[in-house]
């Protein structure tokens, strides 16, 4: 495993084979988002998009809290140079913070979330930008902005009601209360609950399964999942899906997949 030079002090970015491992690293502040962390997250997601040898990413955190949301202390302990670099980037990319938090311009490859401990406010909001979610049995979720008189700006009023039943989404958003890992599983907000201390191992198992599949096919499926949602009419979504499918079926990977199936052996995909 190699740490990449796009890491910041509060966001470690590493490569494990074809997997990008992104770790929130501000445990002393409950991994609350600051400018350094947002900068590292933005760089990680754009790298995931750009590199053909990266097939998916895992987002996790160091410490006993996944993320407590935005730092309401306004980044008082941020390093000056990191803050300046982030502000300079924001001048060029005005929504860089929303891209970092997976509200805008999500990567076109799968994102796996591995949560231990509390994931509140922005911690639960960034969850909704991921595809497969593993929670430790000690995880706690909540969109708590209304309890502070705030609004969940990272997309929860839009996404949450599309990902879980409306009444449950309304309850979470309007009451601002915490829910347990088991409740999150019952709601359909996470895929799996595992014992504390094993969440990253479970996330890596999902990554291994994804990386064994055809990269072009996976990217096309993710693109459809991202773009063809309830707001698009079904016939329009079907046409858009067909447009994604064509290049996949014409690819070398598709031919290799069919040969491997007939020969009863693992497929050797090349991403072409």
Question: Annotated active-site positions, please?
Answer: 125, 145
Token digits for 82? 């990191």
Give the integer Cα–Cα distance in Å for 181 and 116: 10
Non-local CB neighbours of 16 within 8 Å, separated by 6+ positions = 1, 204
Phi, then psi, of 146 in degrees rounded to 5 = -65, -25
C-beta of residue 155 within 8 angstroms of C-beta of residue 99: no
**Helix 215-227 × helix 234-249 angle, to 10°:** 170
CB 13 within 8 A of CB 6: yes
> d(Cα 168, Cα 146) in Å, to the nearest integer?
16
Secondary structure letter of residue 216 according to DSSP: H
Q: In this structure, how many other beta carbons lie within 10 angstroms of the beta carbon of residue 207?
A: 24
């Amino acid at each position: 495993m190699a740490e990449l030079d796009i890491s910041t002090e509060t966001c470690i970015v590493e490569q494990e084979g074809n997997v990008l491992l992104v770790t929130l690293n501000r445990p002393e502040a409950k991994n609350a988002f600051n400018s350094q962390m947002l900068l590292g997250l933005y760089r990680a997601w754009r790298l995931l998009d750009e590199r053909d040898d990266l097939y998916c990413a895992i987002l996790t955190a160091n410490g006993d809290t996944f993320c407590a949301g935005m730092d309401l202390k306004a980044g008082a302990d941020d390093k000056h140079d990191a803050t300046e670099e982030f502000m300079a980037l924001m001048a060029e990319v005005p929504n860089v913070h929303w891209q970092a938090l997976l509200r805008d311009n999500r990567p076109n490859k799968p994102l796996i979330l591995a949560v231990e401990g509390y994931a509140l406010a922005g911690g639960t909001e960034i969850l909704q930008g991921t595809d497969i979610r593993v929670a430790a049995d000690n995880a706690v979720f909540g969109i708590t902005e209304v309890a502070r008189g705030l609004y969940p700006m990272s997309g929860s009023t839009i996404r949450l009601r599309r990902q879980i039943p409306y009444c449950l989404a309304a309850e979470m958003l309007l009451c601002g209360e915490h829910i347990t890992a088991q409740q999150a599983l019952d709601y359909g907000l996470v895929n799996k609950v595992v014992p504390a201390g094993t969440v990253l191992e479970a996330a890596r198992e999902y990554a291994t399964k994804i990386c064994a599949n055809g990269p072009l096919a996976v990217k096309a499926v993710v693109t459809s999942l991202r773009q063809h949602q309830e707001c698009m009419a079904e016939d329009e979504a079907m046409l858009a899906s067909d447009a994604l499918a064509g290049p996949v079926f014409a690819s070398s990977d598709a031919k290799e997949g069919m040969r491997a199936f007939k020969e009863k052996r693992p497929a050797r995909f090349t991403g072409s």
